[in-house]
Amino acid sequence: MNGTPRDKTMTIDDVVGQLESGMTIGVGGWGPRRKPMALIRAIANSELTDLTLVAWGGADVGLLARAGKIRKLVYAFVSLDSVPLEPNFQKARQEGTISEIVEIDEGMFNAGLQAAAQRLPFLPIRAGLGSDVMVHNPQIKTVTSPYADADGVHEDLVAAPALNLDVALVHMNRADKHGNATYLGPDPYFDDLFCMAADKAFASCEQIVDTAGLTVDTPVQRVLLNRMMVDGVVETPNGAHFTTCTPDYERDERFQRAYAEAARGSDEDWAAFHERFLSGDEASYQAAVRAFAEEAAK
């Protein structure tokens, strides 16, 4: 016994091995920013089915929808930003291939994560009142305030239901082997909330460093994840590609355009893109991405 917390380093396959069909999986990041894409690619290639996905959606939603992995989707938006509409998500919606759609307001989504992280069944919020979010999601109820407002009125508010997750998947810039982790970009997004809303959380990262290395060149306020929240750590360099992982790298716009064109194109177009980039493991994906970049640079 040396008082050292346990080593939680894992491989991508170890993480996928911890998942089961039918699970509810929350994915960190935001739209096309700092998504755990290496883990998403591995899930797309796995035998897993009937997943419930909870995400501020980007290509994570698109890829898993196209791979037929999503039974239920909980989202407020799905976008690639510079490509505003995610073509694989659009296709899935327009062809009706996702059986259960839960489109909610962003504030409700945040409140739902907060509620789950605080082990509350719901949190009150105005967002959703009067909108079709309440019409299309009849499971979402309102709650009457027990306290009167200044006019003596007891307001009815939305009871944003907790977004309880079986598993959270996030991608960070740096982590230690115990599960402490930092973001070095401008925005933490909601990754700590996803981890706290989940029974199990796995963090991929650009680089695993010593614990002391986490704060050697960055303020302690950037240590977003504490090891209490994290069950496994995977080193996956360039693992957020083609989303941002500022400051390690920005979004690969050229690759994203190629992705969107293939997704928008014929089944053959997608099959060719899939064959070239997505049919193998993470190492072969990264090799194909390097070849794509070299080709474009010529």
Partner 1 sequence: MTSSASTTDITRADVCAAAVADAFSEDGEIFGSPMGLMPMLGVRLAKLTSNPDLVLSDGESLFLGGVPPVGAKADVVEGWIPFRRVFDVVAYGKRHVMMGATQVDKDGNQNISAIGPFDRPKRQLLGSRGAPGNTVSNRTSYWVPKHSTRVFVDAVDVVSGVGPKRAKEAGVGASKYNDIHRIVTNLAVFDVKGPGDTVRLLSVHPGVTVAEVQEATGFDLGVSDPAAVPETRTPTMEELVLIREVLDPKGLRFKEVPAA
Residue with smaller CB distance to partner 1, 88 or 164: 88
How many beta carbons lie within 10 A of that of residue 282, not counting itself? 23
Q: How far is the CB of 55 from partner 1 (least distance, A)?
A: 11
**Does 153 help bind partner 1 (rule: CB under 8 A)?**
yes
Q: Is residue 146 at the binding interface for partner 1, with CB under 8 A as the rule? A: no
Q: Which residues contact 261 (CB under 8 A, 6 or more apart)?
A: 269
**Nearest Cα to Cα of residue 157 among 83, 194, 105:** 105
Pick between residue 13 and residue 100 the one whose CB is nearest to partner 1: 100
CB neighbour class for 204 (10 Å; exposed up to 12, middle 13-18, buried from 19)? buried
- 3-state DSSP call for residue 191? helix
Phi, psi of 288 (to 5 degrees): -65, -35
The Cα–Cα gap between 57 and 92 comes to: 14
For partner 1, the binding residue among 104, 115, 168, 198 (CB under 8 A) is 104
Chain position carrying tokens 């009167």: 148
Minimum CB separation of residue 125 from partner 1 in Å reads 7
Stretch that binds partner 1, among 13-21, 121-129, 171-179, 287-295 (CB under 8 A): 121-129
Q: Considering only residues 54-73, where is the footprint of partner 1 by CB under 8 A? A: 57
79 lines the binding site for partner 1 (CB under 8 A): yes
Q: Which of 105, 206, 252, 282 touches partner 1 by CB under 8 A?
A: 105
Q: How far is the CB of 91 from partner 1 (least distance, A)?
A: 8
* Binding span for partner 1 by CB under 8 A among 44-52, 188-196, 231-239, 264-272: 188-196
Say how many Å lie between the first and final Cα of the chain, rounded.
56
Residue 203 makes contact with partner 1 by CB under 8 A: no
Joined together, the tokens standing for residue 194 give 């996803």
Binding-site member from 122, 189, 202, 270 for partner 1 (CB under 8 A): 189
